[in-house]
Amino acid sequence: MTQKLVHVVAAVILNEQGEFLLSSRPEGKAYAGYWEFAGGKVETGESELQAVQRELYEELGLRITAATPWLTKIHHYEHASVLLRFFRVLPHEWQGEVVCRERQQYSWQQAGRFDVEPMLPANGPILRALSLPLRLRGNAAQGWTGVNGLGKVSMGFTNQDIRLLPINTQRTDDAGLQLQCLQADSDLAACNADGWWWQPQREAEVNELLARLHQGCPVPIVALLPESLQTQAARLQAAGVHIADTTAESVLSA
Ligand SMILES: Nc1nc2c([nH]c(=O)n2[C@@H]2O[C@H](COP(=O)(O)OP(=O)(O)OP(=O)(O)O)[C@@H](O)[C@H]2O)c(=O)[nH]1
């Protein structure tokens, strides 16, 4: 049986310091007092961006000029099953002072640190995704390191801070397929990594991934770009893809 999904948008508002904005759910709503990314249900006839703009103004008095689709989650609560579309909003894409218009609380949080609670149950993976550095160095065999708001983070396949698994679009039982499953109302229960790493060989693959990301992806993606595709790094980063540098010795920043 296919359950009807409630279509929800939520905004990850970023400031110049790389912090992200959380707010608490007002009295009278399910999970009142829990922390969340500001947002809410998409109304009939509204685009997702319009819903982000309306909700952020209604709840926090912020004006949003642009927002990029980022991660997508399906979560089954006792009160509803929700399709959550998270959008990244960069510092130059929003304006205004935060005003709690629904008597909620707000807090700017650092990547990797999370000191308000309780958080809405569906949001744990989103917080982990936010702690993944934007640039990483290393390789698939030994794992990667990078720096986020809290300092150095190490990652690999086993028992590390964050687990990254390879995308293999040729196989039908792994992450590559899960990108497609999302459109088929999968609840993504099988998603067993905090992120996926991916090694494109051709520009066409980059385009394909960008198109799929627009439709929704449950975990962040780290791209290992060969020399020939380095020119694609900016496009990928603009879509929220993390870039792994497999060669340079330079110090990395988040
Ligand atoms: N806004 C928001 N909702 C989230 C997040 N994570 C998450 O699971 N949800 C779920 O998505 C749904 C959003 O509905 P909502 O009640 O906030 O929507 P709304 O503001 O339009 O509510 P309304 O119907 O009272 O006007 C809730 O079931 C909530 O638990 C999040 O980070 N932000």
Q: Which uninterrupted H or E stretch holds 137? A: strand 135-139
pLDDT higher than threshold 90 for residue 45: yes
DSSP output for 35-75: EE-SEEEPPTT--HHHHHHHHHHHHH--EES--EEEEEEEE
Task: Report the C-alpha gap between 252 and 109 in whole angstroms.
Answer: 21
Work out the average pLDDT over 133-161: 72
pLDDT higher than threshold 80 for residue 120: yes
The architecture in CATH of the region 6-129 reads Alpha-Beta Complex (3.90)
Under DSSP, the state recorded for 9 is E
Pairing of strands 135-139, 143-148: antiparallel
- pLDDT tens digits, residue range 214-223? 877 888 888 8
Atom of ligand 1 nearest to the CA of 75: 8
pLDDT greater at residue 20 or residue 3:
20
Which residue has the CA at smallest separation from atom 20 of ligand 1?
40
* Ligand 1 neighbourhood includes 34 CB (under 6 angstroms): no
Three-class secondary structure of residue 221 per DSSP: strand
* Domain ranges (residues) in the chain: 6-129, 132-245
Measured CA to CA in angstroms, residue 165 lies from 45, 156, 158, 222 at distances of 38, 9, 10, 10
Work out the average pLDDT over 88-104: 95
* Ligand 1 neighbourhood includes 40 CB (under 6 angstroms): yes
Which residues on adjacent β-strands are paired with residue 113?
Answer: none
CA angle, 68 as apex, 64 and 71 as ends, to 5°?
125
Distance of CA 3 from the midpoint of ligand 1 (Å): 17
Range with the largest mean pLDDT of 72-86, 87-101, 124-138, 199-213: 87-101
User: Which residues, at least 6 apart from 99, have a Cβ–Cβ distance to it below 8 Å?
Assistant: 60, 61
ipTM of the complex: 0.96
Neighbours of 51 (CB within 10 A): 23
